[in-house]
């Protein structure tokens, strides 16, 4: 079964609104989670590393004020796309490494469409 | 830095054909290597992995061998099925420090299997 969940799976919003995406590890604790963005027919691009109890680490070129990340607990990280615009439309995927298995587990993704 | 180079697609095969998707990598440390599969509309799922040289990962009839001498991790399957149609991503993570880090992905290879 799934070990990492994301909510919502799909969201459509108007330009200028903010959208929050949740990523949960279901049966293990994750002090670190990763957020990726995937454009159609392209690979995953790492956006940021979410750290429980400290600030997220953003990759070069990713606006931290645009993509707010909060790692609220050992099982939950949220990504908020603030003042969304059509160019923010994409597939957002989170992952969480399970230290005991040395493997990362991916959420099913959230498809965001900004009108 | 780390990088993954993957065979460009799309790849179209007939059912029961032999599949090879090439993947080579560059890494500064001691990477673990992965193949992930993404079915249409879904998130990534781990297909197989190998954590050290000469290891062979296998799952669902797919295999890949960690070749340090050629820095390769080619994915193979002897007889593909229509249900194998998906996008396949080669990836690596450097866990030499003992903790899982973010994955570096290849560009993905779209596989379509025709009946």
Rounded to whole angstroms, the Cα distance separating B72 from B24 reads 4
Euclidean distance between CA atoms A98 and A101, whole angstroms: 6
Mind listing the pLDDT tens digit for each residue in A74-106?
Answer: 999 999 999 999 999 999 999 998 776 667 889
Q: Which residues of chain B does A6 touch, with a Cβ-Cβ cutoff of 8 Å?
A: 43
Q: Would you put residue B5 in left (φ > 0), alpha (ψ -120 to 50) or beta?
A: beta
Residue whose pair of structure tokens reads 């396949």 in the numeric block: B88
Question: Are B95 and A49 within 8 A, CB to CB?
Answer: no
What pLDDT does A1 receive? 58
Sign, Cα dihedral of B33, B35, B41, B42: negative
pLDDT at B5: 93
3-state secondary structure of A98: strand
pLDDT of the residue at A6: 94
**Interval A30-78: pLDDT, tens:** 889 999 998 877 788 899 999 998 899 999 999 999 999 999 899 999 9
Residue B98 has pLDDT above 50, yes or no: no
Suggest the residue from B44, B52, B94, B97 to mutate for an interface test with chain A (most A CBs closer than 10 A). B44
Which residues of chain B are within 8 Å of residue A34 when distances are taken between CB atoms? Answer: 102-103
């Amino acid at each position: 079964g799934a070990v990492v969940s994301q909510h919502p799976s799909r969201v459509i919003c108007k330009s200028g609104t903010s959208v929050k995406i949740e990523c949960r590890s279901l049966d293990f604790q994750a002090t670190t989670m990763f957020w990726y963005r995937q454009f159609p027919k392209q690979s995953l691009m790492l956006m940021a590393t979410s750290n429980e109890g400290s600030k997220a680490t953003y990759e070069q070129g990713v606006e931290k004020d645009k993509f707010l990340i909060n790692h609220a607990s050992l099982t939950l990280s949220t990504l908020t796309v603030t003042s969304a615009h059509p160019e923010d439309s994409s597939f957002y995927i989170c992952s969480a490494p399970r230290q005991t298995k040395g493997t990362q587990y991916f959420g099913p993704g959230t498809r965001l469409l900004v009108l | 830095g780390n990088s993954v180079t993957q065979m460009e697609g799309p790849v179209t095969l007939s059912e029961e054909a032999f599949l090879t998707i090439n993947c080579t990598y560059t890494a500064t440390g001691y990477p673990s290597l992965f193949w992930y599969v993404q079915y249409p509309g879904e998130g990534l799922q781990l297909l197989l992995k190998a954590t050290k040289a000469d290891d062979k990962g296998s799952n669902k009839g797919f295999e890949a061998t960690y070749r340090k001498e050629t820095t390769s991790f080619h994915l193979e399957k002897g007889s593909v099925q229509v249900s194998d149609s998906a996008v396949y991503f080669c990836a690596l993570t450097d866990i030499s420090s003992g903790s899982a880090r973010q994955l570096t992905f290849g560009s993905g290879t779209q596989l379509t299997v025709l009946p």
